[in-house]
Amino acid sequence: MKTLSVAQTLLKNRFTNAPEKKVGNSERVYFPERNTMKYELQELLGLEQNNWKKNYLSWKEEQYTPEEIEQKKELLQLFKEVFDWNTTYELQVSYYTEPSQYLHKHECKDAEELRNYLNYEVEFPEPDYDDINYDYFDYNSDIQGEESRTFRITISDLRLKEALVEANK
């Protein structure tokens, strides 16, 4: 078994030593710190997918500096060395419509498919009328054209790599 670096050990310990909390008066428990780690990982994967640029900037907020980007790349690499997880990639295409707007969501099979759509390397077909969720779309609207493409990456089942679990026993 390879010896873990200090950074890997700290990340592993942050996960394994995360305190549990009860959900109300029930017997169910959850781990707030693990949830925080999951959201950190989702953000890092989103930045990686978006060429290390923030999707949205608040007023007077700036993009990350090259030094901050390097730190984030290193942290993502640490997550990849210490954890396994399941990932869902979703493309969201917004369309101009008359008289309103429509958001179409498409689950991608992997990061490469998502990247191809976001970079307009692959044509994304306008939704057929059978694809439209009319709970969010006016029956009298007509699609006029694509407005924007965004994405969402969701992480589930964040877990230590099997070799690290075995080493803990």
Q: Report pLDDT for 107.
A: 84
16 vs 137: which has the higher pLDDT:
16
Domain count within the chain: 1
Where residue 56 falls among pLDDT bands split at 50, 70, 90?
A: confident
Whether residue 91 is contained in a domain is answered as yes
99 vs 119: which has the higher pLDDT:
119
Whether residue 32 is contained in a domain is answered as yes
d(CA 161, CA 169): 13
φ and ψ at residue 87, rounded to 5 degrees: -130, 135
Q: Report pLDDT for 134.
A: 59
Burial classification of residue 113, based on how many CB atoms lie within 10 Å of its CB (0-12 exposed, 13-18 middle, 19 or more buried): middle
φ and ψ at residue 108, rounded to 5 degrees: -90, 155
Whether residue 23 is contained in a domain is answered as yes
Where residue 47 falls among pLDDT bands split at 50, 70, 90?
A: very high
Whether residue 49 is contained in a domain is answered as yes
Q: Report pLDDT for 49.
A: 92
Nearest 5°: the CA angle 24, 30, 36 is 120
Whether residue 1 is contained in a domain is answered as no
| Domain span including residue 19 | 6-54+63-168
Where residue 168 falls among pLDDT bands split at 50, 70, 90?
A: low
85 vs 127: which has the higher pLDDT:
85
